[in-house]
Amino acid sequence: MIPLRDTIPARSRPVVTHAILVVNVLVYLLQMAQGPHLERFVYYYGLVPARYFVPQIANYFSTGEQAFALMSFMFLHGGFWHLLGNMWSLYIFGDNVEDHLGPLRYAAFYLLCGLASGLSHLLLHRFSNIPTIGASGAIAGVMGAYFILFPRSRILTLIPILFIPYFIEIPAYFFLGIWFVLQFVNAAGDGGAGGVAWWAHIGGFVFGMGILNVFDALPGTGASTALRRFVPRTATDRLQVIRPATRDDSIDLYATVSISAHEARTGARKMVSIATGFPKRLLRVAVPPGVTQDSMLRLRGLGRPTPDGRRGDLFLRVSIVDPTA
């Protein structure tokens, strides 16, 4: 299952989420620049349990170096696909959690979830000399918060079956629940030998769920309001889910695509996923500049089929919305 997006748009630009994405990419490029010294770099800045629990190894590191590694490990990655998988999950789930907490509380929440995930790995693998790296634990904390905040959200998911892509919507509580169970299954079967810190994922997810109420109780700083004013969100989601309906016995189908006032003036390109009962599940839709509220976009031949082989059309009504509302 490959998650593509959730169905809850964020009201603000996810500035912190995007900043975390950029920092992780930059650190990955720094890693790749290490060349033959990469292994040493990862050991120094990664999370190595033996560095904290084996005196003969711990003596080689200062207190500051040990403390820094508790944070730096979550910005390192073991390869391009490791980085891409983590950043994609953060991109999907992070914006809504940041929207709920606000940028400053969200930044602190993310770092604490990463720290908690690292500590859970340390305590369960105290004498391991294998570096643990990756943002997975911190992102698991974000996913845990999402599980609590938006259980009824739906995750548009790509499921390839025999090389044929199928797009379905899965309730967030089911998608994340299955993910969490799989972490336990993998942790039980791996025993720490496979190099993946499954217990860090579990620890981050549980910590994210448990600490969310504490962050909710903290007073807001007003940073979210300031960001909406100075860095406004000017576009709706590029990937949208629509549910076509018929009118009377017509062979034409009707649905709605949402754009912002800015996109109405300048034009936009959207990816539209048909929720049910449609052979082609993902469409590219070009919204021309200058459209107005309730304008209709006609996609020829994408309606209902008739017995004689003809097809109706798919009409998309343009809805101009405020993406910050």
Residues 3-37: tens digit of each pLDDT: 888 888 888 889 999 999 999 999 999 999 999 99
Residues 73-105: tens digit of each pLDDT: 999 999 999 999 999 999 999 999 999 999 999
- CA dist 75 and 70 (Å) reads 10
pTM of the model as a whole? 0.85
Query: pLDDT-based confidence at 278, cuts 50/70/90?
Result: very low
Highest mean pLDDT among 161-165, 231-235, 249-253: 249-253
Is the pLDDT confidence value at 141 over 90? yes
Q: Give the closest residue to 114 by CA, choosing from 167, 177, 47.
A: 47
Q: What is the mean pLDDT of residues 51-67?
A: 93
pLDDT at 37: 94
Q: Give the closest residue to 304 by CA, choosing from 279, 271, 273.
A: 279
SS3 state of residue 274: strand
- CA dist 192 and 179 (Å) reads 18
Judged by phi (left if over 0) then psi (alpha if -120 to 50, else beta), residue 163 lies in left
Token match 């995930």: residue? 117
- Within the chain, where are the H helices? 15-32, 38-45, 50-53, 55-58, 63-72, 80-101, 103-124, 136-149, 172-190, 198-217, 223-230, 261-266
Hey, what amino acid is at 186? N
Q: Give the closest residue to 147 by CA, choosing from 216, 105, 96.
A: 96
Q: What is the CATH number of domain 234-320?
A: 2.60.260.20
Residue ranges of the chain assigned to CATH 1.20.1540.10: 2-229
Query: pLDDT-based confidence at 187, cuts 50/70/90?
Result: confident
Q: Give the closest residue to 134 by CA, choosing from 189, 81, 193, 190.
A: 81
Residue ranges of the chain assigned to CATH 2.60.260.20: 234-320
Q: What is the CATH number of domain 2-229?
A: 1.20.1540.10
